[in-house]
Structure 1
């Protein structure tokens, strides 16, 4: 009860802020819960400026760090908020006023358990960048190395925990009031958000991600990652090599340095393709502010808080899907969706193939330079909604990253498609991984894996047969009995919680009266 009361009060405050910006989701409840929709409409400021996505972005920014970060997560969920809103949320400014340098010094000393004067020969109190979770200061180590020091905001962990608890509570109620949202997995979205934030708030994890990405590109002269100073890195502090260069969107500086924008674009395309398809580990926020160019023309990435992983099987699925679209082989496109289990087997494969054709045919005859792979994925996800395709978070993150990378490419040269520049790399990878030899090797490996599991399967069948022959039936493990009892208890609690729906409506009414 205390949790519900606390969340209701917080909900009133959030509702007033969303209403002030005209960002309350009235349409979501118009058909299923008209009374709640009416109350939300009364709270909404209809004349707030901007598109719906712009109003939502402004409201999330006003609500603080947790909601700014939530807006970033929603920006990759076009299936949940719509293409236009997702685009507006992608432009959400992850900027906040900096906290005092004295606080940053105190956090560093507490985390590293040494006086800051012993850690750094110079430490700039003025932050050079301030975001929702942390801010960055320039410094110099006693041995003369120029470094950038990232420090978590004071009290940020407690603030996020409070808001994540609220979001879990709201997602649970959203499913009760709107069962059609189950396909979009709102609880899974919040859980993913919580895991992402938890990782971002442990700067050792970000340092580890930077280290792994650096290893993957150790021999690459065109793309690099700043070195981590592990002696000056802890949970709330990360020290890394300072990047000397300029952001990749500063064309004047690129040309003044005698560098070729097209060459930089080709390097960026190669780096992103290698991250996704070669390594299955990619920088998921590669916008111009996170990509620098050195005087020598090397690309250097920063900010490794949001990284994506894709297993080999999903990479092969993506390759087959893209091959199918480019070759107008819609049988292949449909088949890989069903084989991967992304579309339920109960759906009509022929009808799904027809839907894929509706996406692919407009691309036929167009040069590769005119095709956006990110937008192709977005259209595919929109169509698959009709076929109960469950949300694939790793693919949504990839799609958002591709759109971001393509946007960065258009800044360098709007007439060139970055994937066209990476065509030799793409062709070689396709041959090595989807050619006849590669498919044969995959078949042999799969058969070997099945053969290795046969003895265990036979033992399990014999054990089951013996239990049935003894006449005692199948015995449940004690843990299974506990799980069943817990399920019955949860069902009872679920019915008791239905009574709290009235409190939700009352809170909305109170917020309407106060606004």
Structure 2
């Protein structure tokens, strides 16, 4: 357990760096109490002269503070409810690039993790090609029965886990202090924000989990003809080493190279959008860091994603919520869009569906009077979440991560095709999912699942009866052994058994009736 004094030292250093880079100039002092305003003015005395923009100041400060703060900045970009939309937009531009660590340290870490000399695992092992705050990537070659093959080897930075753990604990300390002193911090649930960051970082600190995410997505997209995922080399993967197939493709960040290959960029833009929506709506598991540097086009013209350290999940309820609100806006069915919020439990029932529908219409109607290329689905969702805050909708971290990813994906699509029609591109994916899950086929599947639930319940009935028989045997044995039960106890047992029998009979009849009704519908 790290003592609070250590947290204070870490936080004081961070505060000094942020003040020195002029980050506190981005904070509006108006809503702050008097003491906080004075503190903010004092911190601004430490600013060094600079002509850099707010985004550049923040990026510079977080980069100087190290990997934990780079991750914090990237995470807060997904939480405009906490930092405000302007700062969240600035943080989207934060690049996770760091100087590489020495080659010999990387090689030693791989040998320790995999328990073998490097030359027995790799035919060749090159220098680092990309370095981020948590890990760096090397290109290597392995010998296989089919011949020599290139692979990408990702290695965690030495000592990164201890540094991140200490910084995360300091973040928790700061969040607890803020919640004790500020009602607004309690409303925004600062501790929960840090807890979510901690879970995300924990996943990134174990590269086996990233390998599992890549493997799961590969299974999900195995039948897709326009999207694929690199194969994981499990024999060369461990806690701090991840080895995957090397992708010889063109990055989406290199538009000139894409044009030289003669690729149809508008089609590629639609593929990016539709792939993301298929993963989110169809699979409930999506790549949450789909910036152009993580997307390639292989020799077969398929889209390939890399770097599965940040992933998003949506439950069935959340997928239906997303699909129905998007389709509601596409079809101008604002009442259904409003009703979905109430059915999902996102908006409390004491609010009026009609009033909420009016607010949804205020967001949706303007988009139908504009050109398709001017309509941003991501901005629409941002406006929707702002409106839902007026109706006491609680923060949904999974939906905010989805929104943040949609902003990035939409930007990639429009980079490839400035006239991309987001709605026409999205409609087939969303409509297909709704027809599949809410149409006749989906209802049959739901009925079958309902029968399965009843079957599992009925399958447990013999066990319940068996336990009842054992209790009866114990009572009979107690009587034979001379244990005297009072008349009141015997009567109570009899009454309880009769009530239990009547309750079981009524429950079975109710289950049968509900099952019949469900199948009939």
> Which interval holds the TM-score relative to the shorter structure?
0.7 to 0.9
Work out whether residues 324 and 434 of structure 2, in 8 Å CA contact, stay in contact via their aligned partners in 1. Answer: no
Q: Secondary structure at the match of 2:24?
A: coil
For 2:318 and 2:454, the matched residues in 1 are separated by 20
Q: Deviations over 1:77-98 (max 9, x none)?
A: 1111122211110110100000
Determine whether 1:335 maps to 2:336: no
2:328 to 324, 349, 374: 324
Work out whether residues 185 and 391 of structure 1, in 8 Å CA contact, stay in contact via their aligned partners in 2. Answer: no
1:453 shift after superposition: 6.8
Structure 1 match to 2:60 = 58
For 1:456 and 1:389, the matched residues in 2 are separated by 39
Map residues 155-170 of structure 1 onto 2, 5 A cutoff. Answer: 155-170=159-174
1:180 shift after superposition: 2.0
Structure 2 match to 1:24 = 24
Per mean C-alpha deviation after superposition, the further-off stretch among 27-36 and 135-144 is: 27-36
1:456 shift after superposition: 9.6
1:41 shift after superposition: 2.0
In structure 2, stretches of 5+ residues that fail to align are: 465-488, 494-521
Q: Secondary structure at the match of 1:128?
A: strand
Structure 2 match to 1:205 = 209
For 2:445 and 2:19, the matched residues in 1 are separated by 58
Structure 1 match to 2:41 = 41
Structure 2 match to 1:131 = 132
Determine whether 1:249 maps to 2:253: yes
Structure 2 match to 1:474 = none
Q: Secondary structure at the match of 1:297?
A: coil
Map residues 341-490 of structure 1 onto 2, 5 A cutoff. Answer: 341-435=345-439, 438=442, 442=446
TM-score by length of 1: 0.83
For 2:356 and 2:56, the matched residues in 1 are separated by 34
- Structure 1's 365 and 430: CA in aligned 2 closer, same or farther, altered over 3 A? farther
Q: Deviations over 1:169-208 (max 9, x none)?
A: 1111111222123332211111111111111110000011
Per mean C-alpha deviation after superposition, the further-off stretch among 272-281 and 212-221 is: 212-221
1:330 shift after superposition: 2.8
Structure 2 match to 1:140 = 141
- Structure 1's 404 and 244: CA in aligned 2 closer, same or farther, altered over 3 A? same
For 2:373 and 2:26, the matched residues in 1 are separated by 40
Structure 1 match to 2:191 = 187
For 2:3 and 2:425, the matched residues in 1 are separated by 54
For 2:176 and 2:5, the matched residues in 1 are separated by 16
Work out whether residues 337 and 360 of structure 2, in 8 Å CA contact, stay in contact via their aligned partners in 1. Answer: yes
- Structure 1's 225 and 300: CA in aligned 2 closer, same or farther, altered over 3 A? same
- Structure 1's 342 and 424: CA in aligned 2 closer, same or farther, altered over 3 A? closer
Structure 1 match to 2:88 = 86
In structure 1, stretches of 5+ residues that fail to align are: 460-465, 471-515
- Structure 1's 83 and 451: CA in aligned 2 closer, same or farther, altered over 3 A? farther
Work out whether residues 372 and 419 of structure 2, in 8 Å CA contact, stay in contact via their aligned partners in 1. Answer: no
For 2:248 and 2:191, the matched residues in 1 are separated by 42
Q: Deviations over 1:138-196 (max 9, x none)?
A: 11113311111000000000000000001111111111222123332211111111111
Q: Deviations over 1:451-488 (max 9, x none)?
A: 9779999x9xxxxxx9xx99xxxxxxxxxxxxxxxxxx
RMSD of aligned Cα (Å): 2.7
1:66 shift after superposition: 0.3
Work out whether residues 59 and 91 of structure 2, in 8 Å CA contact, stay in contact via their aligned partners in 1. Answer: yes
Structure 1 match to 2:292 = 288
Structure 1 match to 2:498 = none
For 1:295 and 1:367, the matched residues in 2 are separated by 35
1:402 shift after superposition: 0.9
Q: Secondary structure at the match of 2:73?
A: helix
Structure 1 match to 2:4 = 4
- Structure 1's 365 and 437: CA in aligned 2 closer, same or farther, altered over 3 A? farther
1:294 shift after superposition: 1.6
For 2:116 and 2:459, the matched residues in 1 are separated by 57
Per mean C-alpha deviation after superposition, the further-off stretch among 236-245 and 417-426 is: 417-426
- Rg larger in 1 or in 2? 2
For 2:82 and 2:440, the matched residues in 1 are separated by 39
Per mean C-alpha deviation after superposition, the further-off stretch among 70-79 and 47-56 is: 47-56
Work out whether residues 207 and 239 of structure 2, in 8 Å CA contact, stay in contact via their aligned partners in 1. Answer: yes
Q: How many residues align?
A: 461
Structure 2 match to 1:504 = none
TM-score by length of 2: 0.82
